[in-house]
Amino acid sequence: MLAPLRPDHRELLAARETGRSLPAPFYVSPEWFQHDVDEVFSKQWLFVAAEAEIPEPGDFVTVNFGTQSVIVIRADDNTVRAHHNVCRHRGARLITEPRGATGTIVCTYHSWTYDADGHLTYADAQDSGFDRKCFTLRSVHVRTIAGLVFICLADEAPTDIDEVAEIVEPYLAPHNLAQAKVAKQTDIVENGNWKLTMENNRECYHCNGHPELLNVFFPIWGYSSTDTVPDRLAPVFNRYRISTAELTEVWDRYGLPHRNIFQLDTRPTGFHIEREAMDLAGESFTLDGSLACAKLLTDDLPERKLGRVSMHLQPNMWLHITSDHGLLFSVIPIAPDKTLVRTTWLVHRDAVEGVDYDLNRLTNVWEITNQQDADFVALAHQGISSPAYLPGPYGPSEVLVEAFVNWYITTLRTNMGVAAAEPGTAPMDMGSHMAGKAAAS
């Protein structure tokens, strides 16, 4: 069905040099963008929504990836289902609203009607031989983890999602996101390739460009011990160590796991999870670090100062959770140079706007930060589009960027059946976890 991989693409994929940013075609070529859609976004688990967006049976969101559209809907049995948003009659898009609640899914065009499980329940004026059972909506894999909804568009989804869930649920579940409510959700379109969006997320080497966010971050990225920390950073590193020691006691007291787990480029569903202290008041993502929401996420963790849980998951999400709110990010490629970044702020279901939290104060720092990041991504895309661009070196503080790129290259190689030019340089064998992968040629 598919055309064979172009020889120059095969070569490019085989030859990628570690420790440097990718060659330009990966970021700017429409053909590589299609590879990303076909081999990454159509095969991996993707974070698409919070369960809090669809609390009741019949609640739905639609998620659009390029030309694909998926209905994520809560069924009567309270489980989450996902269906392709395409009528089985003549293909009309069924739901155009981004979110809503409905008893049945009715096609506007000729009134074909489906239930939340996707079964065709009505189709007017058909011959007696017409069998409704042949026209169930095409379903999509769906999986929830601690209140996060993931889908996979492949026929067979990567199976390691279960292992990942087992590891990360103990970190996430205590924060009760599944029972939270959406305080705000924003979409911005960045003028750059989705991988530049992810790379930008995966380092804080650029965080001098985020003066508002920087208030609550300890700017010690790239330094692992006092030995290597430059003198100017010694005070902040010390503050970081004290704060971490204090918080570790708190975390242990509540049985909250806090080991830094780094599996970003060693499995199909690559991820990283950690708990970190924060600077200033150390409570939340505000200008002074104090709470943004007076009502904490859960009564079971009655501590204002909990630091943050941060998780990064390949290919398209990251999150931060403080004591008072959760902050979810999902990334959707739109075009080689256009990427949607969706940010969702979650607070306790019973928190009241204007009483427990001021919406502007809750969202202010990350709305500013998102716009700054969008500017950085646009600059990177502009420069990389020049024929004069050469892949440049990652420094010590860009280790998560390298891990993302590494995961990306390995995933493409695995899914497209391309071996590394120098055997042994691949950092993982992802094949054993990977369902539905292309046969190696």
Contacting positions for a copy of itself (CB under 8 A): 21, 24, 28, 42, 67-69, 84-94, 96, 108-111, 123-127, 130, 135, 138, 199, 205-206, 208-209, 221-222, 375-376, 379-380, 382-393, 395-397
Residue 404: what are its φ and ψ, rounded to 5°? -65, -50
We find the least distance from the C-beta atom of residue 59 to a copy of itself, in angstroms, to be: 22
**210 or 348: CB nearest a copy of itself:** 210
**58 or 391: CB nearest a copy of itself:** 391
**263 or 406: CB nearest a copy of itself:** 406
Q: How far apart are CA 267 and CA 431, in angstroms?
A: 9
Q: Give the Cα-Cα-Cα angle 228, 226, 250 (nearest 5 degrees).
A: 140
**383 or 436: CB nearest a copy of itself:** 383
Q: How far apart are CA 350 and CA 394, in angstroms?
A: 45
CA-closest candidate to residue 60, choices 136, 118, 111, 138:
118
**26 or 171: CB nearest a copy of itself:** 26
We find the least distance from the C-beta atom of residue 105 to a copy of itself, in angstroms, to be: 13
**94 or 313: CB nearest a copy of itself:** 94
Distances from the Cα of 366 to the Cα of 206, 328, 344, 361, angstroms: 15, 11, 10, 10
**89 or 349: CB nearest a copy of itself:** 89
| Contact indicator for 366, 322 with CB cutoff of 8 Å | no
**Residue 103 is encoded by which pair of tokens?**
């008893």
**355 or 388: CB nearest a copy of itself:** 388
**57 or 209: CB nearest a copy of itself:** 209
Tell me the CA end-to-end span of the chain in Å, nearest whole number: 15
Q: Give the Cα-Cα-Cα angle 96, 98, 103 (nearest 5 degrees).
A: 75
Residue type, 298: T
We find the least distance from the C-beta atom of residue 401 to a copy of itself, in angstroms, to be: 8
Residue 165: what are its φ and ψ, rounded to 5°? -60, -40
We find the least distance from the C-beta atom of residue 232 to a copy of itself, in angstroms, to be: 11
CA-closest candidate to residue 118, choices 59, 72, 156:
72
We find the least distance from the C-beta atom of residue 394 to a copy of itself, in angstroms, to be: 8
Residue type, 418: V
We find the least distance from the C-beta atom of residue 404 to a copy of itself, in angstroms, to be: 13
| Contact indicator for 146, 172 with CB cutoff of 8 Å | yes
CA-closest candidate to residue 344, choices 198, 183, 189:
183
We find the least distance from the C-beta atom of residue 372 to a copy of itself, in angstroms, to be: 10
- Pairing relation of β-strands 120-122 and 113-114? antiparallel
We find the least distance from the C-beta atom of residue 359 to a copy of itself, in angstroms, to be: 30
We find the least distance from the C-beta atom of residue 22 to a copy of itself, in angstroms, to be: 10
We find the least distance from the C-beta atom of residue 77 to a copy of itself, in angstroms, to be: 24
Q: Which residues contact 44 (CB under 8 A, 6 or more apart)?
A: 152, 154, 158, 268, 269, 314, 315, 411
**148 or 374: CB nearest a copy of itself:** 374
DSSP string computed for 356-381: TB-HHHHHHHHHHHHHHHHHHHHHHH
Q: How far apart are CA 212 and CA 195, in angstroms?
A: 24
